[in-house]
Amino acid sequence: MTADTNTIRHLQQENIRLRADNNSLKDYVTRLQNAIRALTALQHQLDHIRPDTNIFELIQNILKAALAAVDSEDGSLALVDEESKQLVFVEVIGTSRDKLLNFRMPANQGVAGWCVVNRKPRMVEDSRKEQAFSPQVDKMTGLQTNSLICVPLLDGNRPLGTLEVVNTRSGRPFNQSDLELMMLVSKLASLAILTAEKVQQG
């Protein structure tokens, strides 16, 4: 093999690597743009809460913002029922909506329950390796959870509920950037829910 052949092969490999890096960068920029749009829309909602604001529509928009921010199609927002100590799925977007909407589960069960109990976010890159993951919801809905992020909605140290996204459109696992975006969405979401409640209570 000649030196020229080695050089050509090296250049071809470098070209392939650069193309892959470029595609990865384009994907990241697209996701970042989606996240900015989603967070801007959520902030706009927060700035325009009135006594006649539909809280369920607000919750739906919060979940849409979360999904757009991390490039996912399936997610849920659950609120804590303090009397029954259960999580109630008050909004669901995706293939699980019909079966999961209004579903109740113990507020200490699964990854969502872990987030409620510990008041901390949780990212699961591979559900098969996650001890806290409960397959109950997957069995009920038929959805196969590969990767997920769940973040608590908090009023100080009081858990209001959870915001969860499942799987990305591309199939890639969620990463640290996605987790940070979800934590930001959760803070805005908590503030929006509390503000709406206070405004409606007068």
Q: Let me know if residue 132 belongs to a domain.
A: yes
- Residue 158 falls inside a structural domain: yes
Q: Give domain status of residue 197, yes or no.
A: yes
Domain presence at residue 11: yes
Q: Number of structural domains, the chain?
A: 1
**What is the SS3 assignment for 165?**
strand
Digit-coded pLDDT (tens) for 64-121: 989 988 999 999 999 999 999 999 999 999 999 999 999 999 999 999 999 999 999 9
1 domain-assigned: no
- Which of 103, 125, 121 shows the shortest CA–CA distance to 112? 121
| Distance between CA atoms of residues 169 and 57, nearest Å | 24
- 92: Cα separation from own chain's centroid: 12
Q: What is the pLDDT of residues 19-70, one digit of tens each?
A: 766 666 677 677 778 778 877 887 887 788 888 888 888 889 889 989 988 9
Q: Which domain holds residue 143?
A: 6-201
Task: Give the H/E segment covering residue 85.
Answer: none
* CATH number of the domain to which 163 belongs: 3.30.450.40
Residue 153, in any domain of the structure: yes
For the entire predicted model, the pTM comes to 0.82
